[in-house]
């Protein structure tokens, strides 16, 4: 793993034998709920994903075209966009606990494997199409960003919450800073979160700060293309510099599947003026 000065920053590696450039488990992250991996597959390659009776899985096809074999059901030549910056929603596959999956790359492709604990087969195997996702423009001025909900309020799951965001050059997102680390519904929910970042052009960089009210956690991270940031708690705003478009895929999970956040009171005035 490349050296990093932040305990929350996972820099990408070169693809391993299976194609993985990022892989985080709850054990390696030091938390309870979110598992995340990203793999880059060459055309003609295949990836076997082991069944797990204790977790639900959502495979997000970030780019390229793949075929998916769950044994009892196959989905052939799934995918459309060739880049996360194409301006379209992705395809994804929700896989309940206990189902093995094999992924075949029909073209060069990149996929994200998003996991969270699940107690049973509450929800069936389902192909999530671009039209199933909900897209919205959020914010105003240099706080404007494009949000695409893949598995959030649009579709059910046991714990997983998944969305992706495009932040235009020179803009901010996850802003004003907000947090969701207290299990005190209906005021706030407790959710672990990962940010999988991409830059356009790829040589760019962006910044993410993760901090708590008492500053017991306070890290500012320079993210690069394919960086992963862990957000175990605290506020977590993101800024994209001039000239570089920023994408990130968010995966959240916690004791309850509700996204209820609290803005940093020092900065909430920004949306109230």
pLDDT tens for each residue of 7-17: 899 999 999 99
Mean local confidence (pLDDT), 186-199: 97
> CB-based burial of residue 71 (10 Å sphere; 0-12 exposed, 13-18 middle, 19+ buried)?
exposed
Q: What is the pTM of this model?
A: 0.95
Which comes out higher in pLDDT, residue 122 or 29? 29
pLDDT at 5: 62
pLDDT at 6: 81
CA 190 to chain centre: 17
The CA-atom distances, in angstroms, between 183 and each of 119, 179, 194, 232 are 20, 11, 18, 13
Is the pLDDT assigned to residue 99 strictly greater than 60? yes
> pLDDT tens across 118-132, in order?
987 789 999 999 999
The single residue listed with the structure tokens 């940031």 is 229
> pLDDT tens across 138-167, in order?
999 999 999 999 999 889 999 999 999 999
Class of domain 9-272 (CATH, top level): mainly beta
The CA-atom distances, in angstroms, between 80 and each of 66, 217, 236, 251, 255 are 10, 40, 31, 22, 34
Helical segments of the chain, H only? 26-29, 269-272
Model confidence at 79, in pLDDT bands (50, 70, 90)?
very high
In whole angstroms, what is the distance from residue 71 CA to residue 94 CA? 14
Mean pLDDT score across all residues of the chain: 95
- In b/e form, how buried is each residue of 82-94, taking b as 16+ CB within 10 angstroms? eebbeeebbbbbb
């Amino acid at each position: 793993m490349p050296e990093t000065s932040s305990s929350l920053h996972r820099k990408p590696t070169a693809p391993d034998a299976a194609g993985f450039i990022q892989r985080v488990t709850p054990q390696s992250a030091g938390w309870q709920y979110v598992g995340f991996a990203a793999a880059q597959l060459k055309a003609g390659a295949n990836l076997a994903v082991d069944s797990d009776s204790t977790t639900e899985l959502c495979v997000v096809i970030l780019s390229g075209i793949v075929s998916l074999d769950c044994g009892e059901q196959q989905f052939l030549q799934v995918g459309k966009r060739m880049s996360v910056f194409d301006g379209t929603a992705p395809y994804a596959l929700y896989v309940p606990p206990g189902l093995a999956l094999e992924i075949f790359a029909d073209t060069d492709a990149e996929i994200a494997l998003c996991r969270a604990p699940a107690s049973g087969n509450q929800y069936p195997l389902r192909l999530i199409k671009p039209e199933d996702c909900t897209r919205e423009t959020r914010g105003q001025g240099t706080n404007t960003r494009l949000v695409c909900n893949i598995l959030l309020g649009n579709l059910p799951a046991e714990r997983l919450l998944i969305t992706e965001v495009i932040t235009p050059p020179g803009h901010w997102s996850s802003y004003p800073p907000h947090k969701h680390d207290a299990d005190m519904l209906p005021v706030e929910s407790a959710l672990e979160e990962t940010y999988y970042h991409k830059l356009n052009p790829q040589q760019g960089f962006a910044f993410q700060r993760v901090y708590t009210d008492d500053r017991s956690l306070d890290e500012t991270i320079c993210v690069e293309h394919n960086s992963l940031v862990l957000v175990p708690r605290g506020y977590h705003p993101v800024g994209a510099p001039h000239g570089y478009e920023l994408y990130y895929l968010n995966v959240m999970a916690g004791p309850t599947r509700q996204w209820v956040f609290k803005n940093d009171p020092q900065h909430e005035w920004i949306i109230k003026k």
